[in-house]
Amino acid sequence: MAKTHTLGDLQLAIMRVLWANQEATVAQVHEALYPERGLAPTTVATMLVKMERKGVVQHRSEGRRFVYSPTVSEAKVQRTMVGELTERLFGGDVTALVSHLLSEHDTNADELEELKRLIAEREAQEV
Amino acid sequence: MAKTHTLGDLQLAIMRVLWANQEATVAQVHEALYPERGLAPTTVATMLVKMERKGVVQHRSEGRRFVYSPTVSEAKVQRTMVGELTERLFGGDVTALVSHLLSEHDTNADELEELKRLIAEREAQEV
DNA sequence: CTGGTCGTACTACCGTGGTAGTTGTAATGA
DNA sequence: TCATTACAACTACCACGGTAGTACGACCAG
């Protein structure tokens, strides 16, 4: 059931604005997204209503305006969505996903260094 | 608008059957998926029609039956979908995705070893 | 007081994934 | 030959992401 926290493209764009600002009015979100997307303000408002119904944002009234804030963290959304994709595409095998990233995405030397560092860091914690 | 190669859950399940068997009839796909999903045969057939319209499978007639085969590779679909997710969720930063995997997904020691091996392998090619 | 503007509420529409019933036809078996 | 069955074709729905117009109430400027 809990299809929760799987967001579409626009929804993620809106969340990014909210995550970056803690909270924002419809107008502010619209303003932030307009340059790349050129959406109508009502589109953003409608989407926010849908997102609230779904439980990923909430709002409070400030005068006539609604101030929206996220109710889920970026990390949680990432966890859910990456987990779902890993499950669907790699049968839940995380190393298969990383392996894929290494072979298909042309990872450069710097990135490889960075990855080694991340793993070493992780190993340190592990103990 | 090449939104191509972004597949839903059932579509991926169907593709996995086709990838595993090179080709399959509707009945064979249905048979393969029935245990976990309990779908009607017509559901599979309808989905295959939609997938063909979308260009990810093709079919040839064999007597009265249709034999479907994939027109895109698993690697290509993975590349597209992982790429999209990476873009949407991590602004295209692959190391951010891996970092996320390491911190949120509880990666065990064996997996870490495996990852180091993969990176070393990759580094060897790099030179 | 009154007209425009700001901003939410409501409604609508399209595309697509997912699910399946109904129908028509062709093959098959009694 | 005729009934049953196996299949594909067609049609229909729902949910949801995305997009936006219209309507209505509040608020501000003359």
Residues A18 and A61 in one domain: yes
pLDDT, position A21 = 97
B78 & B101 share domain: no
- Which residue numbers in chain B have pLDDT < 50? 1-2
Summarised one tens digit per residue, pLDDT across range B85-119 is 999 999 888 889 988 988 877 677 788 888 888 88
Tell me how many domains chain A contains. 2
Among A54, A70, A86, residue at a domain's last position: A70
Q: Domain range holding A82?
A: 74-126
For residue A15, give the nearest of A84, A68, A81 by alpha carbon: A68
A51 within a domain of the structure (yes/no) = yes
Q: Residue A126 has what pLDDT?
A: 65
pLDDT at residue A2, as a whole number: 45
Strand D: list positions under 7 Å from protein Cβ: 6-12, 16-22, 25-27
The CA distance from B33 to B43, in Å, is 11
Q: Are residues B79 and B124 in the same domain?
A: no
With a pLDDT cut of 90, the percent of chain A lying above it is: 69
Longest dimension (CA), chain A: 54
A70-113 pLDDT, tens digit per residue, is: 999 999 999 999 999 999 999 888 889 988 988 877 677 788 88
Residue A65 within a domain: yes
Claim to verify: residue B20 and residue B40 sit in the same structural domain: yes
Residue contact A81–B104, C-beta within 8 A: no
> Pick from A32, A53, A70: which residue ends a domain?
A70
Separation CA A59–CA B96 (nearest Å) = 30
Three-state SS sequence of A67-115: EEEECCCHHHHHHHHHHHHHHHHHCCCHHHHHHHHHHHCCCCHHHHHHH
Q: What is the SS3 assignment for A66?
A: strand
Residues 1-30 of A with CB under 7 A from strand C: 25-27
* Per-residue pLDDT at A1: 41
Residues of B in contact with A118 (CB under 8 A): 95, 98-99, 102
Q: What CATH number should be reported for the domain holding residue A36? A: 1.10.10.10
pLDDT for the residue numbered B47: 98
Q: Which of A31, A49, A70 is the last residue of a domain?
A: A70
